Amino acid sequence: MTKRNYTTVNPCVMCQPMGSALAFKGIENTMVLYHGSQGCSTYMRLHLAHHFREPVDIASSSLSEKGAVYGGRENLKKGLRNVINRYNPKVIGVATTCLAETIGDDVPAIVREFKEEEGIGDDLEKDIIIVPVSTPSYGESHVSGYIKALDAIVRTFAEKPGDESAEKFPNEKLNVIPVESLSPADVRELKEVFELMAGGYIFLPDISETFDAPLREDLPKIAQGGTSLSEIADMPNSQASLGLGIVSKNLAVKYLEESHDVPGSSVPIPIGLSNTDSFFTELVKILGCPIPVKYLQERGRLLDAMVDVHKYLYGVKAAIYGDPDFVFSLTTFMLELGMNPVLIATGSKSRDFEAKIRQIVEKINPELEPLVLNGIDFDTLNDAVSQCNPEILIGNSNGRYIAKARNIPLVRVGLPIHDRVGAQRILTVGYRGAMEFLDRITNAILEATDTFTAPVQAESAAYAGKGNEECVEGMR
Ligand code: SF4
């Protein structure tokens, strides 16, 4: 593969503040303001609106040359005033962009000053809550922006009590916090599981309505839905926290554990057979209740579907790219299907990505030697695709030029999906999501058989479409 020393060409990630918007938009009555230049907000609003097909308002402090030289204090205060007057939000998430960070604006200090000037206190119930997050894009990606924003939200609403002996009010609920943004359909699917299995739960952030709202005549200024503020404040009283994703660090789960003694655990995003098995196994462990029959039936149907398509998918060479945890879970599923993921890549700079991928490949099919790339751009991905010669691409719509140039199918999943409709309804989690995704992959391959044929290979002894044996035992 060609080694390049020059700058990023077509990034395989999105800007860090955009990740913060994905988190803030899952909170009830919350507005987002980017402290930086107007273009950042315009680009990210469009990006999200094209993906979710919903209006997405993101305010901007509109820094210009003057602000860049003298600092953006006045712009930010004016922006906050405008947001309060026009949207009347309960929470304002203030995320910085590259310019605000480069000129060194101290956003928390400006926010404190603004609150003093406007007489805004710190009462979580009565006052407007302003949550600053530092998200310069030259630092990290939308993945870390999302994680940082969730951490900041939880720290604001579930602040560690000054008095160590302060009484707790156990609520018997389960906190659920994914490390990456899921689709609204995924969130709805998971909420259904928790409604059936948990006495109570708090899902943070809940974008199931805010990014996929029913049509209504009176379009609200801020989309309805989202995790309620009282629920977030109640998170320290929960019996446990469950993180979804094991590659990126789940800062909110860690904070709740370290500061509020809420035991935390993490499982992979439940995509595919064994990851969904692990998810249910963990729920059974935490909640002590059986898996509802409905999901046992779905699991059986997934196994049946895997057997049905095995002859089409076995040995098919795939390239998978996207956000680290999403790619990890998709890779596990590809391996379970007997596919050959020759190229596995993320645009995020993730410390644990390669190790986790190697572990899962070693566990399911140690004969494979995929190329694993971390922190890449699409230019590098293009080179890697030339080298690995996959027969199918699996990832967001930005890989379409590579797929088109090579005349191979692209199964669109993840974020962003701009060139097709329905991204908000793509379901990948749970047994049902696995079945839907499996159908999409298989049909894409069948449709492409005009130009290529999936190789016929002897089945490897390592083929492991078996899921989590422990979970299977429990289901008998
Ligand atoms: S890279 Fe920085 S300046 Fe450019 S759009 Fe993203 S946040 Fe804004």
- Decide: 266 and 253 in contact? Cβ < 8 Å: yes
The response to whether residue 174 sits with its C-beta less than 6 Å from ligand 1 reads no
- Domain stop point among 292, 313, 341: 292
The preferred substitution site among 7, 97, 148 for testing ligand 1, maximizing ligand atoms within 8 Å of CB, is 97
**Model confidence over 15-37: pLDDT tens digits?**
999 999 999 999 999 999 999 99
Instruction: Check residue 254 and give its pLDDT.
Output: 98
Closest CA to 424 of 432, 413, 408: 413
Instruction: Check residue 169 and give its pLDDT.
Output: 85
Q: Which atom of ligand 1 is nearest to 36's Cα? A: 8
**Model confidence over 314-359: pLDDT tens digits?**
999 999 999 999 999 999 999 999 999 999 999 999 999 999 999 9
Measured by CA distance, the residue closest to atom 2 of ligand 1 is 98
Q: Within a domain: residue 254? A: yes
The preferred substitution site among 103, 137, 144, 148 for testing ligand 1, maximizing ligand atoms within 8 Å of CB, is 137
The response to whether residue 17 sits with its C-beta less than 6 Å from ligand 1 reads yes
**Model confidence over 92-139: pLDDT tens digits?**
999 999 999 999 999 999 999 999 999 999 888 889 999 999 999 988
Task: State whether residue 171 is helix, strand or coil.
Answer: coil
Q: Are residues 319 and 448 in the same domain?
A: yes
Q: Which residues, 6 or more positions from 453, have their beta carbon under 8 angstroms from its beta carbon?
A: none
Instruction: Check residue 268 and give its pLDDT.
Output: 98
Count of alpha carbons within 13 angstroms of residue 142, beta-carbon side: 24
Q: Are residues 264 and 355 in the same domain?
A: no
Residue 451 — pLDDT band, cuts 50, 70, 90? very low
Distance from Cα 98 to the centre of ligand 1, integer Å: 6
Distance from Cα 48 to the centre of ligand 1, integer Å: 15
**Model confidence over 66-97: pLDDT tens digits?**
988 999 999 999 999 999 999 999 999 999 99
Instruction: Check residue 476 and give its pLDDT.
Output: 43
Arithmetic mean of pLDDT, 132-156: 95
- Buried/exposed code over 246-258 (b: 16+ C-beta within 10 A; e: otherwise): bbbbbbbbebbbe
Q: Within a domain: residue 397? A: yes
CATH code of residue 240:
3.40.50.1980
Instruction: Check residue 200 and give its pLDDT.
Output: 93
Q: Within a domain: residue 2? A: no
The preferred substitution site among 20, 40, 377 for testing ligand 1, maximizing ligand atoms within 8 Å of CB, is 40
Q: Are residues 201 and 323 in the same domain?
A: no
Q: Are residues 344 and 419 in the same domain?
A: yes
Q: Are residues 321 and 413 in the same domain?
A: yes
Q: Which residue has the higher pLDDT, 471 or 17?
A: 17
Q: How far is CA 266 from CA 183, 242, 244, 252, in A?
A: 19, 6, 6, 12
Q: pTM, whole model, 2 decimals?
A: 0.93
Instruction: Check residue 304 and give its pLDDT.
Output: 98
Instruction: Check residue 466 and give its pLDDT.
Output: 58
Q: Within a domain: residue 1? A: no
The preferred substitution site among 38, 98, 101, 142 for testing ligand 1, maximizing ligand atoms within 8 Å of CB, is 98
Measured by CA distance, the residue closest to atom 7 of ligand 1 is 97
- Decide: 440 and 395 in contact? Cβ < 8 Å: no
Instruction: Check residue 141 and give its pLDDT.
Output: 94
Q: Are residues 288 and 335 in the same domain?
A: no
Distance from Cα 36 to the centre of ligand 1, integer Å: 9
Q: Is the pLDDT of residue 469 over 70?
A: no
Q: Are residues 352 and 413 in the same domain?
A: yes
Distance from Cα 96 to the centre of ligand 1, integer Å: 10
Q: Are residues 278 and 324 in the same domain?
A: no
The response to whether residue 41 sits with its C-beta less than 6 Å from ligand 1 reads no
The response to whether residue 137 sits with its C-beta less than 6 Å from ligand 1 reads yes
Q: Are residues 89 and 149 in the same domain?
A: yes
Q: Within a domain: residue 11? A: no
Range of weakest confidence among 157-171, 208-222, 258-272, 307-321: 157-171
Q: Which amino acid would we find at residue 442?
A: T
The response to whether residue 43 sits with its C-beta less than 6 Å from ligand 1 reads yes
Boundaries of domain holding 29 = 16-157
Arithmetic mean of pLDDT, 383-392: 96
The Cα 179–Cα 146 span in angstroms is 8
Count of alpha carbons within 13 angstroms of residue 381, beta-carbon side: 32
Q: Are residues 112 and 80 in the same domain?
A: yes
DSSP string spanning 390-459? -SEEEE-GGGHHHHHHHT--EEE-SS---SSS-GGG---BHHHHHHHHHHHHHHHHHHGGGT--PPP-PP
Q: Are residues 314 and 423 in the same domain?
A: yes
- Domain stop point among 227, 261, 292: 292
Q: Which residue has the higher pLDDT, 400 or 460?
A: 400
Q: Are residues 253 and 316 in the same domain?
A: no
Q: Is the pLDDT of residue 462 over 50?
A: no
Percent of the chain with pLDDT over 90: 85
- Number of structural domains, the chain? 3
Instruction: Check residue 1 and give its pLDDT.
Output: 64
Measured by CA distance, the residue closest to atom 4 of ligand 1 is 40
The Cα 241–Cα 238 span in angstroms is 7
Instruction: Check residue 464 and give its pLDDT.
Output: 46
